[in-house]
Amino acid sequence: MDTLLPVASGSAAGPLTADELRELYSLMVAVRHLDTSAIAWQRQGIIPGYAPELGQEAAQVGSGYAVDTTRDFAFPTYREMGVARTMGVDMVAYMSTHKATWHGGLYNPMESRLAPIQAVVAGSVLHAVGWAHGQTLDKKDGVALTYFGDGASSQGDVHEAMNFAAVMKAPVVFFVQNNGWAISVPTERQVAGGSVAARAAGYGMPALKIDGDDVVAVLEATRRAFAHARSGNGPVLIEAMTYRRGPHSTSDDPGRYRSLDEERDGAGTDPLERLRQRLLADGIADEAFFAEALAAAKVEEEQIRTGIQALGSRPGTEMFDLVFQETTPALQAQAANWREESEHV
Q: Do residues 27 and 65 make contact, with C-beta atoms less than 8 angstroms apart? A: yes
d(CA 29, CA 82): 10
Q: Do residues 141 and 71 make contact, with C-beta atoms less than 8 angstroms apart? A: yes
Rule CB under 8 A: is residue 139 a binding residue for another protein? no
Nearer to another protein, 325 or 342 (CB): 342
3-state secondary structure the chain: CECCCCCCCCHHHCCCCHHHHHHHHHHHHHHHHHHHHHHHHHHCCCCCCCCCCCCCHHHHHHHHCCCCCCCCEEECCCCCHHHHHHCCCCHHHHHCCCCCCCCCCCCCHHHHCECCCCCCCCCCHHHHHHHHHHHHHHCCCCCEEEEEECCHHHCHHHHHHHHHHHHHCCCEEEEEEECCEECCEEHHHCCCCCCCHHHHHHHCCCEEEEECCCHHHHHHHHHHHHHHHHHHHCCEEEEEECCCCCCCCCCCCHHHCCCHHHHHHHHCCCHHHHHHHHHHHCCCCCHHHHHHHHHHHHHHHHHHHHHHHHCCCCCCHHHHHCCCCCCCHHHHHHHHHHHHHHCCC
The answer to whether 78 is a known catalytic residue is no
**Number of neighbours of residue 278 by Cβ within 10 angstroms:** 16
What single letter denotes the amino acid at residue 131? W
Rule CB under 8 A: is residue 101 a binding residue for another protein? yes
Rule CB under 8 A: is residue 257 a binding residue for another protein? yes
Rule CB under 8 A: is residue 196 a binding residue for another protein? no
Rule CB under 8 A: is residue 99 a binding residue for another protein? yes
Q: How far is the CB of 165 from another protein (least distance, A)?
A: 19
Contact letters for another protein, residues 216-255 (x by CB under 8 A): -----------------------------xxxxx-xxxxx
Residues 76-95 that bind another protein (CB under 8 A): 78
The answer to whether 278 is a known catalytic residue is no
Residues 301-330 that bind another protein (CB under 8 A): 313-314, 316, 318-320, 323, 328, 330
Q: How far is the CB of 308 from another protein (least distance, A)?
A: 12
Among the listed residues 127, 159, 257, 258, the single catalytic one is 257
CA distances to 74, 227, 237 from 207, in Å? 19, 14, 5
- Alpha carbon 192 to its chain centroid, in Å, reads 24
Among the listed residues 113, 248, 274, 305, the single catalytic one is 248
Nearer to another protein, 195 or 222 (CB): 195
Contact letters for another protein, residues 30-49 (x by CB under 8 A): ---------xx--x----xx
Nearer to another protein, 116 or 134 (CB): 116
Size of the site for another protein (CB under 8 A): 61
Site for another protein (CB under 8 A): which residue of 12, 29, 129, 152? 152
Rule CB under 8 A: is residue 162 a binding residue for another protein? no
Rule CB under 8 A: is residue 121 a binding residue for another protein? yes
The answer to whether 257 is a known catalytic residue is yes
Rule CB under 8 A: is residue 336 a binding residue for another protein? no
Nearer to another protein, 211 or 270 (CB): 270
Nearer to another protein, 89 or 216 (CB): 89
Among the listed residues 79, 85, 228, 244, the single catalytic one is 244
Which residues contact another protein (rule: CB under 8 A)?
39-40, 43, 48-49, 78, 97, 99-104, 118-121, 151-152, 154-157, 182-185, 189-191, 245-249, 251-257, 260, 263, 313-314, 316, 318-320, 323, 328, 330-331, 334-335, 338, 341-344
Residues with a catalytic annotation lie at 244, 248, 257
